[in-house]
Structure 1
Amino acid sequence: MPPKNAQDTRRDNFSAQVVKILAERSGGKCAICRAPTWGPNDCAFKATNIGQAAHITAAAPNGPRYDPTMKPEKRRSALNGMWLCGNCHQKIDKNVGEYPVKRLQDLKKQAEDDAKKELGVAAAKPKSFSDDSPITIATSASAIMEIRKAKSMLQDSIQTRDTNSQAEDFLEEIKYISVADHDYLPAVGTELLQYYWLLVNYDSKQTTWLQIVRLLKEVADAYHTTMTQDDVDTMCTIVMYMITNKTKDGNMTYQSATVFLTNLARQLKNRKDITNTAQDELNTVKANTGPKRGTRTRHGGKDTIDGGDDSGDDSDGDEAYKYPAVDESHDSNEWVYLSAMCDLVELGDEERRQKEVSLENEGYITYVI
């Protein structure tokens, strides 16, 4: 006779046939991030698979979204499953509130509908990919796995408040994954953005943030014609976090991030399939922008620049904070300016001041209130 708690310990696992059906119905792609989950292995007689069959309602009691009214036959059938990459599988099970049953069912249906439409249709080649550099699923899958390993180590450092690890070490972990030099699938860009967001929260040093701005530019240049709405939103979240959380010595980071946001908004201008979040955020920055040019004077005990819109009382120093501005008359030289701002970080005080004066003469403000 089975023990009384047999029902509590039983798992309604998928059969091998159900797992195969779920993978094939999604076209071998994750139903959430749409990353390819299988491809060639180094061994000519094997294939690499990073996908998993996930239960929509849990296979056993106390699991995520478990439905006690569902019959075991249905619980272990393809109706209750979806094909995901390992990362998204963990995400839906750890964030049940964000991924209820109805949302997962909708995501599964959308993924299978997309797979049906793609049957027999050659994939369009993104403009950033050259004809003589073929895209391979294996290369992209390998890059994704390496990013996720690095992300796992970074998350461990964040959770344990490890002060011995340096941001430079985590950037070193993925230095060879350059979307500027390799023809990776867009899913690699998605993984990199998630990694950069963690890194920005882990380390607020100006040198780290400037490096991340440069890396964001690489992702934007490679994928601005193909990136998803989530990718655009993540990118804007990172940049706006830099803009609104700059430290005292973060003036160059602020200017560089604003220049990047301006360029990203322009790159997405003709995309009709997504919302240009970059332009929306840029409008927010402009609405709170101080003067672009002027003479430095004292107001309310603070250095400021004449011509600004001070809504506070100068006598007590209560001024409305204004974001500093980037002079948009220099659009064609934006990335030349960005590089100059980044290079300032490596210079000594005297050399830096000379460079700042040169930039100011061109109309840019390198000093921020």
Structure 2
Amino acid sequence: MAAAPLMALPVLFKEIADELGLNPLQIGFIWGAGSATGMFISVFGGSIGDRFGSKRTLVVACLLAGITGVLPGLATDFLTLLSTVFLFGLVRPVIPINLHKTCAVWFPSSELGLANGFVSTGMALGFLFGSLFSATLLSPALGGWRHVIFFYAGLATVISLLWLLTPPPPTTGPGTSRGSRPIPLREGLPYVVRLRPVWVLGVVILGYGACVQGFLGYLPLYLRGIGWPATSADGALATFHGVSLCAALPIAWLSDRLRTRRALLMLATGMLAAGVGLLPFVDESLIWGTVILAGLMRDGFMAIFMTTVMEVRGIGAAYAGTAIGFTMMLGGIGRVVSPPLGNSLVGLGEQFPFLFWAMMALLALVSLGFFPPTPFKERD
């Protein structure tokens, strides 16, 4: 429920813009608004998970996601929509951070990539559902974009109750020696920010997230603008998520078997940059190929990235929430700036937003060259 409502917005933007009278720049600000709050709340959401435990944090976060998730459906103009999406963004980032922390507590490093792959697959399913069905199925069936927002908010509340029924964290096992001690809020962040590899990974996710965020928000609008029917434009977005979903688990499993994370991260980042950068220059019949190229390793990248953060020397399960939250905070800078800045380049030519986002992916690729990988034998 952290993914589907997020990906519902791009495919609903046309309907929302028609009703509220929004222009492309305003749409870009709304698309980045949730990331603006996420930029600041991520590190605290991760620290709270380290302090109080991921299960408790997830119960409360899902409940609050249901409450704040209703608010965008009540918006009446640009400012109210912007502010309510901003509020929802205070809660949403806490959920995936603590899902990944849960993996660090339950699984050893030799299985951690695959465990995070399952989380990323769940996220991919949400992305796929939100992009494929929100505008084409749910909006007509429920009576408009507002009721789609209400639908997702209700599901988040139900999931909060389901988390109450899950078993408590293990008291013995691979991650408990490092993750059982609650980390005081005043201790976790000062410790994490002293670790240079965490900063490097933060720059990586800044560039990668900026590219994905801007690209996904603009793609349906671009395709409709060049004459694609709405179903095909939304289908391209769904294809991005669909191929990513299919590849997430194999890629995560491969990172465990090959005992390498960085090489796969670099491959995924290069594919994203190539797919996004080439899209506006290829024949329309080849656009599907560039979308597949860009999206194939997206969720696999996130699974491996989260695992890599946890495996930084000195992090482990104990500081996993804070470290992931800190890198996501840095990533939030890119996700906030990227959509409006990229969209503002449309006046120079329809290809310039894509080139800008491809350059952000290249920033991530170059940054990975400065990351010192942790020897596999030291990860557990």
TM-score by length of 2: 0.24
Structure possessing the higher relative contact order (Cα contacts under 8 Å, 6 or more residues apart): 2
Q: Of the two, which has the highest radius of gyration?
A: 1
Report which of the two has the higher share of helix.
2
